[in-house]
Structures are given as C-alpha cells and as structure tokens.
Amino acid sequence: MNGLMRVRSTCLGVAASGLLAAALLAPSAAAGPLYRYIDERGVIHFTDAPTDSRFDPINPEAEDEQRSPRAYDGVITLVARLQDVPPALVKAVIRTESNFNRLAVSPKGAQGLMQLMPATAQKLGVEDPFESFQNVEGGVRYLRRLIDRYGNWRLALAAYNAGPTAVDRYGGIPPYRETQQYVKKVLSYYARYDADFAR
C-alpha cells in the first residue's frame, strides 16, 4: 500500500466488502501489518506506515497478540461497519464465543473467533475458519442475517447460539439455560465494549 487510504464507511455496501478485504488485507501478509483508525466523520483511514498514534493494527496475527481484548478491534470495526452491525456487539460475541482465541475449537466442533460450525462456515464461503478476517467476516454476515430475520438482538443472539430452528420452535429465546445465559452474557459484554469504538 505504501501510504494512506481513506474510505467512508457509510458508502460501502455488502457487495464491496469482499473486494475491499482482498485489496486491503492480501498485501498485508507480504508488506507487513495494516493499520486503521476511524475519524469523527466516520471515515476509515488505512495505512501500512502509521505516523499517528490513532492507528491500530488490523492484522493481529502479525502483531502476535491474539488473546488481547483489543487485538481484533480493527478487523471487528471494518467488518461490523460493512455489515451495519455495532462493533461492540461483534466484539461481545467474540468474547463470549472464543475469548479472543482465533484457534478455539468447541467440543461440538465450532471453530475460530466467532465459533462457526464447519457446515455454517462452508455455506458462508469461509475457507479458513482460523484466519481472523475470514472468520469474523463470515460470522458477522451470519449475525446480520439473524438480526434481519428476527428484528431484535436478543432473538438473533439466541439463534446464533442455539440455532434458528430452536428459536422458531419456541417462538422466542429457547428455555435452555446455556442459551439464556449466552444472551445475557453477550449483552453485558456489549455494554462494556461500547466505549472501545469511535462513533
């Protein structure tokens, strides 16, 4: 990249997300980490040569800080804004699902930061569920679909945890202790992380 790029987040549609990701993140593996910050007008600034302390890395693997609570804020911000999902909500899901461990695997086989089941990852076109951008991008697209389907976060989160079939069967949050606790936990983390992201 060798310089600064500016993108107004509100002008980017869903179709542009894959192209933007390829253009921004593919070169970073060879050229070094990519950095971003969002200014007061909502414009996302990218660079591979930061000269301003407001820039944060969006290639956490290169920074070797995978378990840091702030390590994935750049990826989260980029993907969340492209999908019109609050970044703090995405971060809360990641905290609840994997505790920021991009290599996490659940006993049921869910993988990566947002704990995508292999079949779900395949449907979403996620080729490597342990690569942070692919996992978060796929997971947020899925979360966006659930929000659109149910019209509110609580039911969307319940469906993310227990599956849409369970939510549809019970006409609301299923009477599963795990799912009920999951929804409460994510919303609690959301309140905690809301201040981490610029408006």
Among the listed residues 61, 65, 97, 127, the single catalytic one is: 97
b/e code 151-166 from CB counts within 10 Å (16+ = b): eebebbbbbbbbebeb
Q: What is the DSSP letter of 10?
A: G
> CB neighbours of 164 closer than 8 A, spacing ≥ 6?
146, 149
Please check whether residue 174 is in contact with residue 162, taking contact to mean a CB–CB distance below 8 angstroms. Answer: yes
| Whole-Å CA distances, 126 to 121, 139, 187 | 5, 9, 26
Any catalytic annotation for residue 127?
A: no
Active site residues: 97
